[in-house]
Structure 1
C-alpha cells in the first residue's frame, strides 16, 4: 500500500512543480492564467489525496477552497479584468525565457538538495512533499521577479501560495481554522491587488511596473 500511496502523492506534487515550470515558459497573459488554473487544479488533487492518505477530512475543505477559488473564480475574474483594463496581452520579461527556465531548473535542484538534507528524520512522504513545495514556492517567486506586468506578478504570488499550501498539507495538514484564515487572507489580498491594478491603469494607462519606477524617478528630480 505504501508504494502506490507514495507514488500517487509524488505524482501530484511533482506535477505541481512541472506546471510551475510551464508558467515560466508562458509569454501571454491568457495562457499564463490558464496554466495557473491547471496549477490550482493539480494542487486540489494533491490536497485531496493527502486528505485520503492522512484520514484528515478537513483537508477536503482545503481542496474544495483551492478548486473553487483558485482554479475557477480567480482565473475567470483575472480574464475579465484583463479585458476591462485593455491590458497588453503579451508578457514582458526581465530576462529571456531560456535563462528563466534554466534558473527554474536550478532552483528546483537547490530546493530538493536543501530540503532533503535538513529533514533526514522526517516521514518520507512529508519530506519529499516539502522538497516539492519549496520548489513550487521558489518558482512562484521567480515568476514574480522575471515579469514586468503586474497581473503576471499577481499570478506568481498566488502560485507561490499554492506551494505553501502543499507544504502545510504534506506535513500532516493544518488546523481547519488556519486553512480558512489563509483562504480569506488570499481573497482579501486578491481584492486589494485588483483595486491596485485598476488604479495603476487609471493613473499610468498601463500595468507595466516600470511605469511606477519612471514615475518615482521623475518625482525625485
Structure 2
C-alpha cells in the first residue's frame, strides 16, 4: 500500500475520534446532532476509502448507506423529534465536560495500547490501527451514553457507538453486503422505536430527562 493511501485512511479514522470528542463537548442538542451528522460524513468517507484501498466494491454500498441514513435522515428525524417534543435545548450531563473529556482521553489511550498489543501478530498495519481508532469511537460513544441524562443525547451516543462498529468491520477487510443492508434496516427500525419511546416518555413524564424515571421508580428522593 502506498504511503498516501495509508495516511488518508488514518486521517479519516482519526477524524472520527476527534469528532467523538466534539460530540462529548457539545452542550446544545442541535449542535450535537449537527456534529453527529459530521461524524457520519467522515464515516462514509472512511468506508469509501477502505473500499478503494481494499478493492472491495461492496463497501461503497456501506458508504452510501452511511451518508444517506446517518448523515441526513437520522439527524433530520432527531431534529424533528426535538422540535415536536419541545425538549430543552441544553444537553444535561451527569458529570461535567472537563472530567468526561479526560476520561475520554484515557479510553482512547487504552484502546490504542490494547488493540495494538492484541493484533501484534497481524501483518496488516492499516487494519490494526483502524481497529484501534474504531474501538476508541465505540468507547467514546459508550461514555456519552453513560454521562448524559437526556434520552436524545443517549440515542446519539448509541449511534456513534454503532459508527465505530461499522468502521471496525470495514477496516477488517470489509463485511458482507447482507450485513450492510441489515445495518440500514436496523437503523430505520431503531429510529421508529426511539421515536415512539421518546414520545411516550414525554407524554408520561413531561420530560425526556432519564432522572424522572428514577424518581418514578422511587430510586431518588
1:137 aligns with 2:132: no
Alignment map for 1:1-221 (pairs within 5 Å): 2-122=2-122, 123-217=124-218
Runs of 4+ in 1 over 3 A off after TM superposition: none
Q: Return the offset for 1:186.
A: 2.1
Distance between the aligned counterparts of 1:183 and 1:133, measured in 2?
19
Distance between the aligned counterparts of 1:190 and 1:104, measured in 2?
27
Distance between the aligned counterparts of 1:75 and 1:31, measured in 2?
11
- State the secondary structure of the residue aligned to 1:131: helix
Deviation per CA, 1:186-218: give whole Å up to 9, x if none: 221121011100000000000000111111118
RMSD of Structure 2 on Structure 1 (CA): 1.3
User: Which segments of 5 or more consecutive residues in structure 2 lack a partner in the other structure?
Assistant: none
TM-score, length of structure 1 as denominator length: 0.97
Distance between the aligned counterparts of 1:2 and 1:145, measured in 2?
40
User: Which segments of 5 or more consecutive residues in structure 1 lack a partner in the other structure?
Assistant: none
